[in-house]
Structure 1
């Protein structure tokens, strides 16, 4: 049986990931693909519990390194229990965020060493990386404004604009490091402009 693809969708809050994840799923299904959607942090019961701890607003200052280790703890569980078994069985897995988000948020946003993140990435993932990453880019001010219209804010959504500017810059650094893996989309455009670009990126990947 052929190995499934691992496709990730990245972007800051308010970039439209939820809407476009569903679109990606529909395109893959139109092509007769068996696809499962998941998210990070999360994706399994244990990883979802870690997600709740990470996102919950709290009075205690959360150590950046503690946050990083929790992200990779959730990722290790997610990969072993869900992602890898599905991919090995031929199912395509579509994830709302993956390790690029860790470089962006804990590396760019929190200022942690990229070397430290890379070491953990290699321990947890070994050689495993996404086959395709769709990066939805939006001006941080626009993204934050969109996110704050949705209701109660989680711990990350409460961060200041400067944090999200650093996150966005880190995402673009990731693109520069692995341009062949990324498809960068201007998420401030209307969906009728964005989604044909996403469709083309998917069809190109599937034809390779």
Structure 2
């Protein structure tokens, strides 16, 4: 049985990373694919954990070599998912989560129609701006650009399978876990997972 590929996207400041981390803590059966990026690390970010940080030249050479499952220009920085970080895990039956932007999500959905995509929305524009400013790691210019870019990002929310509003963190996390639980209970997954049980129940003794 091949694993499920989950895609989670959101405008910057929506709380996506915090939600993804909390989901991974509670759902150990999902592996996070660590993306590559051409940007410099933010304070506290660790290479290989938060991102694989590489120069723009290195990133472009990797892209030209077909090494990425998807990649896109996000806020002026290149970000991408390496094929060797996703495909072997899926083939072995493991679930994989991609925390990417809407451009990358579009590429992945085209390549993997069975993927499950989720878009995270902030509860309001005022709250989105407050969260961006609360980071205290970005310049005023960067915050303004991210707010402007968020309109285009949110315009693509309708392309996704599920939409979760991150107003109360616990509620949004519960929604994400419900999506995962529902996917694991789908017919194809359950028939494969419980093939022995079903065969035993159908025995004519």
Query: What's the TM-score bracket when you normalise by the shorter of the two chains?
Result: 0.5 to 0.7
More strand by share: 2
Superposition deviation, residue 185 in structure 1: 0.9
2:193 corresponds to 1:198: no
- The partner residue of 1:38 within 14, 17, 33 is 33
Residue 112 of structure 1: aligned partner: none
- 1:159 aligns to what SS in structure 2? helix
More helix by share: 1
- 2:138 aligns to what SS in structure 1? coil
In structure 2, list runs of 5 or more residues that go unmatched: 38-46, 60-71, 187-205
2:185 corresponds to 1:207: yes
The two structures have a TM-score, normalised by structure 2, of 0.62
Q: RMSD of the TM alignment (CA)?
A: 3.7
Say if 2:3 and 2:93, in contact at 8 Å, map to a contact too.
yes
Say if 2:5 and 2:116, in contact at 8 Å, map to a contact too.
yes
- The partner residue of 2:157 within 165, 172, 189 is 172
- 1:67 aligns to what SS in structure 2? strand
CA displacement 1:134-153 (0-9 Å, x = unmatched): 21101344223202211222
The two structures have a TM-score, normalised by structure 1, of 0.61
Q: Go from structure 1 to structure 2 and tell me whether the alpha carbon gap of 1:186 and 1:196 turns closer, same or farther (over 3 Å shift).
A: same
- The partner residue of 2:53 within 42, 48, 51 is 48
Residue 95 of structure 1: aligned partner: 98
